[in-house]
């Protein structure tokens, strides 16, 4: 029922109050990292299909930063060849880091198509709910006794980045997941940052937590997700993948970027001084979200 309702909203959004058809919205380009693991590309394609189901009439394309085709530059060139004037780029990335701050804007700036780059997906309550549901799928019990709660903990396994703001975003998600679960959640990283997953597992065990699950904070299956799952002493949850909430979150970031682009300059609020994550455009930079997007977002429940 939820999907049918979302599709209806998507169709109605194409019609103005006076009954006339609205102008065609700019296409959404989902920017994935890319992976040598074929499961990653299959997962991203499934996510694309779910985005299209939720927003009929919206052109949705895929571009990769590396390792897979089409590359982002090629996707933008193809849009230009079809005389598409502009596009909104939504990073399929979970926080601030080099790809969000440098690689994607640099590629966008070299394109003939006008582009606006949306904020990364995280932190956001929809990610927390997806992590929660993946843990339940892996065997996490929704109701724990006091003794079970005292013995339980979770490692939030992320890819890792040298950018300190990426770690801030991951820690924010870990805090939100801990509130959701009622047990400690320690962030850990597969590369570039510390601690790694095994070190985080030992830290929880040192606190008397022997029921330790690993939550895969990855957008798709791949080497890092597999290595992190192998370090789990108990449960290992699947990556976020093509969960329906991920499609909703991608569209949320798309809508945020469009709203920022269309807002009159005089109506744009002054961003807080601590907001380092802008929504960028090939013609300039305009902040659209606070440093922690989840802090101002309404928690969204995901129907079963």
User: Active-site residues: which are they?
Assistant: 33
Looking at the DSSP assignment, which residues form a beta bridge with residue 249? Answer: none
Closest alpha carbon to 140 in 101, 180, 112: 180
Residue pair 115/143 in contact by the 8 Å Cβ criterion: no
Q: At what angle do helices 2-12 and 244-262 cross, to 10 degrees?
A: 20
- For 145, residues 6+ apart whose C-beta sits below 8 A from its C-beta are none
d(CA 3, CA 23): 24
Q: Give 53-57 contacts, CB < 8 A, sequence gap 24+.
A: 53/3, 53/7, 53/247, 54/3, 54/6, 54/7, 54/10, 54/247, 54/248, 54/251, 55/10, 55/13, 55/28, 55/251, 56/7, 56/10, 56/11, 56/14, 57/10, 57/11, 57/13, 57/14, 57/24, 57/25
- Element (H or E) spanning 225, and its range? helix 223-230
């Amino acid at each position: 029922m939820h999907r049918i309702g979302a599709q209806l909203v998507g169709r109605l959004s194409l019609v103005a109050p006076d009954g006339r058809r609205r102008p065609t919205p700019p296409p959404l380009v989902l920017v994935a990292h890319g992976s040598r693991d074929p499961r990653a590309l299959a997962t991203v394609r499934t996510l694309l299909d779910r985005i299209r189901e939720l927003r009929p009439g919206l052109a949705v394309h895929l571009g990769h930063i590396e390792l897979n085709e089409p590359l982002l530059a090629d996707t933008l060139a193809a849009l230009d060849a079809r005389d598409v004037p502009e596009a909104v780029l939504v990073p399929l990335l979970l926080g601030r880091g080099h790809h969000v701050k440098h690689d994607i804007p640099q590629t966008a700036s070299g394109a003939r198509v006008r582009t606006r780059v949306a904020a990364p997906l995280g932190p956001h309550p929809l990610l927390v709910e997806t992590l929660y549901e993946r843990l339940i799928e892996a065997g996490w019990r929704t109701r724990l006794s006091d003794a079970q709660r005292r013995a339980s903990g979770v490692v939030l396994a992320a890819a890792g980045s040298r950018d300190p703001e990426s770690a801030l975003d991951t820690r924010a998600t870990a805090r939100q997941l801990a509130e959701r679960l009622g047990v400690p959640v320690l962030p850990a990283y597969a590369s570039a940052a510390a601690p790694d997953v095994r070190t985080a597992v030992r830290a929880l065990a040192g606190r008397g937590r022997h029921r330790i699950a690993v939550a895969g904070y990855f957008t798709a299956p791949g080497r890092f997700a597999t290595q992190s799952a192998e370090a789990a002493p108990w449960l290992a949850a699947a990556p976020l993948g093509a969960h329906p909430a991920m499609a909703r979150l991608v569209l949320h970031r798309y809508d945020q970027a469009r709203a920022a682009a269309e807002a009159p300059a005089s109506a744009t609020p002054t961003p807080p001084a601590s907001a380092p994550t802008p929504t960028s455009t090939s013609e300039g930079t305009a902040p659209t979200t606070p440093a922690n997007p989840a802090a101002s977002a309404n928690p969204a429940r995901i129907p079963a």
